Chain A
């Protein structure tokens, strides 16, 4: 065994410990797609204690940890809270609006609505989704032409109805793009080929091993073809043995050509598919004919 199996969990724990040492009280916001953000954070216990110490006694009950999401695209845009587990250090944040700019704050929210901030994030913008406004100048493009251009790349031609094309585009994106795997990822199946069979199966195959020995300097042929001898004069060959009869003439000629020895083997394989009993008697089933495999 080349390596002790990696211990993934341990790896992540060890390194996040290192991160918390160097990056205190941060929350980082990232973009997943036009509708979802992702935040991860690390808050030192002393930071949380000092914030909690600002709480009034009656605020302890019903206290929640929340992510307060601020749409900062323009002044006065919406703000909303998402409750998170007190054990969580990361969260996927549904914002459901493409093309908007956001930041979040992690904090404590009291029953009466007071919000105490633990950490403030960076700002991110969700990707635009859908066509933008057209230019007015020489680059102007009509709605119909725009969707025709889309129709050609989506493989529907330019003749299809622009409205239909718009719907198709949205469907196509949500059904998954056209991404590729790398060379190293056997997750990709060109023909959807790796179909698991639901049936209980059995496959059986036979190989024939032929081996023997003679004088190391002799010339040996099997079925008329020369065979390489090992230094001690022995040889071995291995064949797929299909159904039918194989004739195997083996011949050895001494190095001076004066002596010849031969052995001929006849090997028969006969298979039938069906239900067999302990004596080897087979009751054939209807569709059964043995297939040729490697």
Chain B
């Protein structure tokens, strides 16, 4: 087979904030996880496995956030997921009866009934409740190349005042991935593609080989990248390799205006039974407080820019997904053709997406992905799927380019996580980091003290999650984001004071450990201000 004229690199970033509330029996926000399991992770797993079984060439890179991994492996949340699934199946069984005289909706009710019972069969039967093992299987088979990411999805450019904060996010993130998949990651996903000077050295120090930035992070690099975003570059001092996101490929899926998910035939996300039906009928299927929310059962399609939505037609939507998959591949081939006059290397086209876009937001997304892989060999026979590591093992040495600070957030920089709605959090986050570094550097002979300081580290990491400032900016669920910031800050200071006074209340510590029970492997030393030369050099640069 002749060598390919271009490479396709699909990257999925799977992340959810840590939402686990043992103190309450039926907690609304835990549904974020349950919905993503039913709508995204299970469909992705079953489709990737099916493609493999049928020998369809399939390869992708995928990052797994440590908070998501912690939740997927948590027995309490696993049990609650099953309860949620059973409840939803009960709701759709009722729906199959209620819709009996309206054939369009009757058919949709059965459609959901089959999907949900299939999800349950996959979860219990095929994957035995262990989605981490299911992903590990695909990783070991070479289908998925795993990337690590920050411990709690901290947005690093706004933590970079303190390299110890950045390093802890990176280190704990790598450890979590190793715990889950028994292997050291070559790649690291920077949350929101957030990059500022100095991060490359901190990543390289931890043994990371490559990361991914938004297009302008590479295009505005210095000197000019010879191949634009179509070949990775290497950072000057650290040697960290940086891939750039291809905007055209991203936009066709991502863009709210031009992207595929807005097609009139696709399922409408916002029109949900949870808001349409009589409250009395729905109440047993809502959260503990009975507030109307999404049930995941949606009977309408996007239709157009109107509130007057038409019923969803799964067959028509599937045909559209197939057409869009073909179009996507042809567009990539068009890019490779257009680049022939500009470059002498086969271009690497890399397109990263949030995994939860597929299935949760864009219901047909997993179908689209599956068809993409199925169609590629015939539609674009001279393009090859690959992963960043595999590409690097084949490619010539990269050009040395200093990438530009950037993110994939709105406006391309830090504004989403630093604006009037959320800027107040950094005062606390920075002060907590300082206190953490000081305490973590102390003698840890007393095991109770070591435990308390480790728990402080967990609380600090949880407070640093980029999800809270994102939610505050977005203006939905803000009460929850405030509450989480308040709780982790308060627990952190309570523990700090007890450690400093030398009087640790073990009962209280155990209570906090049981609530925020992620990262059991975490060590206080991960938070110590660096003293070794490599990072000392970085301290100055990192403040950028």
Give the interface of A toward B (CB within 8 A).
Answer: 1-3, 5-8, 11-12, 14-16, 18-19, 22-23, 28, 30-34, 38, 40, 42, 90, 122-125, 127-135, 139-141, 145-146, 148-155, 157-159, 172-174, 176-197, 201, 207, 223, 237-242, 246, 291-294
20 contacting pairs across A/B (C-beta < 8 A): A8-B486, A28-B161, A32-B413, A33-B414, A38-B423, A132-B222, A146-B224, A146-B228, A158-B338, A173-B411, A177-B407, A177-B409, A177-B412, A184-B467, A186-B269, A186-B270, A190-B259, A191-B302, A207-B278, A240-B101
Tell whether, in the assembled complex, residue A176 and residue B357 are in contact, meaning their CB atoms are under 8 Å apart: no
Main secondary structure of the interface of A (DSSP, over half): loop
B97 proximity list for chain A (CB < 8 A): 237-239
Over the window 407-431 of chain B, the binary record of Cβ atoms lying under 8 Å from chain A Cβ atoms (1 yes, 0 no) is 1111111111011000110111011
Interface assignment of B84: CB less than 8 Å from any CB of chain A: no
The B371-418 residues at the A interface (CB cut-off 8 A) are 399, 404-416, 418
Distance in Å: Cβ of B44 to nearest Cβ of chain A: 13
Q: Which of B326-341 contact A (CB under 8 A)?
A: 334-335, 338-339, 341
B92 at the interface (CB under 8 A from A): no
- Additional 10 contacts, C-beta under 8 A, given A153-B244, A153-B335: A2-B24, A11-B482, A23-B431, A124-B544, A150-B219, A157-B334, A178-B408, A181-B354, A241-B101, A246-B101
A135 and B100: CB pair below 8 A?
no
Q: Which of B27-35, B46-54, B111-119, B502-510 contacts A (4 or more CB under 8 A)?
A: B27-35
B261 A190 Cβ-Cβ under 8 A: yes
The residue that A180 contacts in the complex, of B299, B306, B353, B489, with Cβ under 8 A, is B353
User: Which residues of B are found within 8 Å of A132, using beta-carbon distances?
Assistant: 220-224
Contact partner of B27 (CB less than 8 A), chosen from A2, A5, A6, A172, is A2
Task: Please name all residues of chain B whose beta carbon is closer than 8 Å to the beta carbon of A176 when the two chains form the complex.
Answer: 410-411
From A38, A185, A196, contact of B477 by CB (8 A) = A185
A30 with B424: CB separation less than 8 A: no
Do B98 and A239 touch across chains, with their CB atoms under 8 A apart? Answer: yes
For B105, B220, B493, the residue with the greatest tally of chain A CB atoms inside 10 Å of its CB is: B220
B residues neighboring A (CB under 8 Å): 15-17, 19, 24, 26-29, 32, 35-36, 40, 94, 97-102, 104-105, 157-158, 161, 192, 196-197, 214-216, 219-230, 244, 246-248, 250-251, 254-257, 259, 261-264, 266, 268-270, 273, 276-278, 281, 287-289, 294, 299, 302, 304-308, 311, 334-335, 338-339, 341-343, 353-354, 356-357, 360-362, 399, 404-416, 418-419, 423-424, 426-428, 430-431, 434-435, 467, 470-471, 474-480, 482-483, 485-486, 489-490, 493, 543-544
Contacts A40-B427, A127-B405, A149-B342; is A134 near B262 (CB within 8 Å)?
no
From known contacts A180-B353, A190-B269, A292-B104, infer whether A31 and B157 are also in contact, taking CB-CB under 8 Å: yes
A248 vs chain B, min Cβ distance (A): 10
Partner of A125, one of B36, B197, B221, B306: B197
Residue from A139, A140, A152 within 8 A of B338 (CB atoms): A152
Residues of the B chain whose Cβ atoms lie less than 8 Å from the Cβ of A239: 97-101
* Across-interface contacts of B415 in A (CB, < 8 A): 32-33
**Contact partners of A173 in chain B: CB under 8 A:** 216, 411-412
- Asked if A193 contacts B262 (CB within 8 A), the reply is yes
Q: Are the C-beta atoms of B486 and A15 separated by less than 8 Å? A: yes
B427 and A195 within 8 A (CB)? no
Contact B305 A195 (CB under 8 A): yes
Q: Contacts of A125 on B, CB cut-off 8 Å?
A: 197, 405, 544
A153 x B228 contact (CB < 8 A): yes
B496 CB to closest chain A CB (Å) equals 9
Chain A residue at minimum C-beta to C-beta distance from B479: A6
Q: Which residues of A contact B248 (CB under 8 A)?
A: 152-155
Question: Nearest 8 A-B pairs (CB), nearest first?
Answer: A149-B228, A191-B262, A190-B261, A11-B486, A183-B356, A8-B482, A6-B483, A33-B413
